[in-house]
Amino acid sequence: MNVILTAVLALAVGAPAGFASIQDRPLAPRHQAWLEDEVADIITFTERDAFLRLETDADRDRLIEEFWRRRDPTPDMPRNEYREEHYRRLEFADKTFGLGAALRGRKSQRGRIYIALGPPLEAQRFRREGFRQMELWTIQGNPAVGRALFFRLLFYQRDGAGDFVLYNPVFDSPKHLALNPLPGKTSSTFPRAWDDYDIGVFLLLEANSLFEVASAVSPEVPGLGGALSRVSAGSLGAEIGQYLLKKIDDSYTMAIREHKPIPEARTSVKLVAGAAATAILDGADGRTFLHFALAPEALTFERFGDRCLANLRLTVCLADASGATVFEHMKTIPLELRPEELKSMSERAFQLQDAVPVIPGAWTLSLRLENTISNEYATAEKTIEVPASREPAMSPLILARKIFAEAPEGAAAGAFQVGRAQVYPSVDNLFPKTEGFFAFLQLRGLTASLKEKGALIFTLTGDGRALWTSRKALRDCPDPLAVVESIPTEKLAASTYTLGAALVDGDDRTILASQADLRLAAGSVPGIWTNIQPLPRMGDPAVDFALGVQLLKTGRAAEALTRLAKAASVEPGSVEALNALGDCHAELGERGKALAAWKKSLAIMPDQPRIQALIK
């Protein structure tokens, strides 16, 4: 998806003309530098206007202090991470962008976008014969920058030298990317605004396998509001700018101008209760993942026009028995509902389901889910054990209010999906007695004898008595990796119960067993609405990277090398994979290979103090 930020530069990070006339007296040099050189990309119109109208340096210093306090994500802590990150971005922009151009790096187009939106997930440089140099940024999706899960920005050297400028399909077209464009054949499949030379260059981009660049030159932006809808790039840019302005509560400036006490910021971080369920599950494709469901007690959406937005930042951390981190992963999940959808969801609890690949061992799983719009966050921690043996084993019981046994064939598998069974696990095992519930488990490593003569026995007990039981022959279970059982509860009292599952052989001897406690409620229980994250597809380098890092962190560098080398070869532009590969080579004493991997990483992203220090 191609999002153009021309309007962002004008609305969100640009300094509007005409403000200089507001000043009653010149600004002190330090205040002039702060306003025009340090915060020009992040200050709101109201804050800028108030700053220029203030009459004393003391008032301006007070506004500067409050400016940073309003943006501090952890106001109760001594550090202001937002301020530190902003000045880091300024320094990086000056060192990296604007080289050979008249503008300072922070004033260049790439620099200003970097400062406003942060580092891209990926930055690809293209040098191809017949084309101007181009750079394509892929940026993580966020409600603050539109509705897409990700978007791309294309920059190119307009004059063949100097800084890169943002490709704007409102004013630019494909022929501007070529040194000597040649015409192509007009077709109705191309935008009407393109001429024959635009079409010729577009076809040449595809012929040179520059498919991502080709997808970034469309004069329209697909994907908003549905797969087939399209909006103009200019209107989307304006919308982004308005939203970035809206994020900051700048009403405090009036209190400073009137010499009144400053009202408290409404952006303090709030901890909400959270609950989680976890399971180690084998997929039908033979891969093992740690699946988890995380349910925050509250999830606040912000109304923006006809949209209600939340932006979730999920952090997953695995630690060993000593507390040392062996793997950490972060992802952003933008959510959007229409007002009527949000109203219909108001009586339901939100639940996020996701999964990560994990190596055998005993680990502590820590989860943090933050809503960056409302500054709410929830945490959960679980102890897990991933078995290494392939001997007969039964997974822990997963209890759920609903299980879809016939997930669509061919669709990408999601968290808590095995084969065609999609499970919606309960994080608190609380169920309404009038509805019943479901149990899910996996049987692994079964012998031929067990498959033929064994059976599964489910038993629901309360007050030490068996209240319900079910027996199922294993040969009647179509998929031992996805065993589903429905448990009726309408005749039971509201109370606490235990569900047990036992695998018995042909002589009724118990081979494996598992159990889970649960509660039945007399009244209704809030329903759930679930966001299910997809599992990585086969061959996804993210899986090899995750497993490789875990192996490396647990002292198994030789095993890690195979995984990390594969991840880096499949995704050669991944800084994380190259850095981990370099660490792995260094651990094995292969200094030359380590240096090669780290230097390749620095060529992609120069601002990496740790890697610079390792090379030195």
For 154-184, how does the pLDDT look when each residue is reduced to its tens digit (9 = 90+)? 899 887 777 888 888 777 889 989 888 888 7
Question: Can you name the residues that pair with 361 across neighbouring β-strands?
Answer: 386
> What three-state secondary structure class fits 50?
helix
Position with higher pLDDT, 205 vs 397: 397
Q: What is the pLDDT of residue 456?
A: 96
Mean pLDDT across the stretch 296-302? Answer: 89
Handedness of CA 11, 17, 19, 25 (dihedral sign): positive
What average pLDDT does the segment 340-368 reach? Answer: 92
Distance CA 254, CA 252 (A): 5
Check: pTM over 0.75? Answer yes or no: no
Stretch 424-435: mean pLDDT, rounded? 94
- Alpha-carbon distance of 132 to 109, in angstroms, equals 17
SS (H, E, C) 9-24: HHHCCCCCCCHHHHCC
pLDDT 10s digits, 441-450 = 999 889 999 9
Q: How far apart are CA 582 and CA 615, in angstroms?
A: 10
Residue 495 confidence (pLDDT) above 60 = yes
pLDDT value, residue 18? 37
First-to-final CA distance of the chain: 39
Task: Extract long-range pairs of 562-566: CB within 8 Å, 24+ residues apart.
Answer: 566/541
482: which DSSP letter? Answer: S
What is the distance between the alpha carbons of residues 248 and 266, in angstroms, rounded to a whole number?
9
Dump pLDDT digits (tens) for 405-419: 776 665 668 999 998
Q: How far is residue 50's CA from residue 308's CA, in Å, rounded to a whole number?
A: 30
pLDDT value, residue 575? 86
- For the segment 487-512, the average pLDDT, to the nearest whole number, is 95
Q: How far is CA 402 from CA 279, 405, 407, 528, in A?
A: 16, 10, 13, 10
Neighbours of 324 (CB within 10 A): 10
134-140: strand order across its sheet: 122-126, 134-140, 150-156, 165-166
Helix/strand/coil (H, E, C) string of 458-524?
EEEEECCEEEEEEEEEHHHCCCCCCEEEEECCCCCCCCEEEEEEEEECCCCCEEEEEEEEEEEECCC
Structure tokens at 16: 């509007």
Greater confidence (23 vs 158) lies with: 158
Residue 239 predicted with pLDDT over 70: no
Average pLDDT over residues 367-381: 88
Whether 332 and 368 have beta carbons less than 8 Å apart is answered as no
Lowest pLDDT segment from 18-27, 373-382, 576-585: 18-27
Read off the pLDDT of residues 311-348 as tens digits, 9 standing for 90 and up. Answer: 898 999 999 999 899 999 988 888 888 888 888 888 88
* Side-chain-side CA neighbours of residue 262 (13 Å): 19
| Residue-level pLDDT at 318 | 95
Contact 257, 54 (CB under 8 A): yes
Determine the 3-state secondary structure of 493 from DSSP: coil
Report the pLDDT averaged over residues 395-404: 94
Interval 59-109: pLDDT, tens: 999 999 999 988 887 776 778 888 998 999 999 998 888 666 667 888 888
pLDDT digits (tens, 9 = 90+) for 128-151: 888 988 898 887 655 444 444 456
Token pair in block for residue 332 = 């952003």
> How many of the other CB atoms lie within 10 Å of CB of 575?
19
Give the 3-state secondary structure of residue 301: coil
pLDDT, residue 128, reads 85
For all residues of the chain together, what is the average pLDDT? 83
Residue position matching structure tokens 């929830």: 378
Helix (H, G, I), strand (E, B) or coil at 364: strand
Q: What is the pLDDT of residues 266-287, one digit of tens each?
A: 545 678 888 999 999 998 888 8
Model confidence band, residue 225 (pLDDT cutoffs 50, 70, 90): very low
Instruction: Determine what percent of the chain is predicted with pLDDT higher than 90.
Output: 44
pLDDT at 9 over 90: no
User: At residue 190, does pLDDT exceed 70?
Assistant: yes
Nearest residue to 206 via CA among 196, 195, 217, 220: 217
Count of H-run helices and E-run strands, the chain: 17, 28
Beta strand pairing call for 270-271 and 376-386: parallel
pLDDT at res. 11: 35
- Return the closest-CA partner of residue 151 out of 142, 161, 160: 142
Tell me the three state secondary structure of residue 184.
coil
Model confidence pLDDT, tens digit, residues 505-533: 999 999 999 999 999 999 889 889 999 99
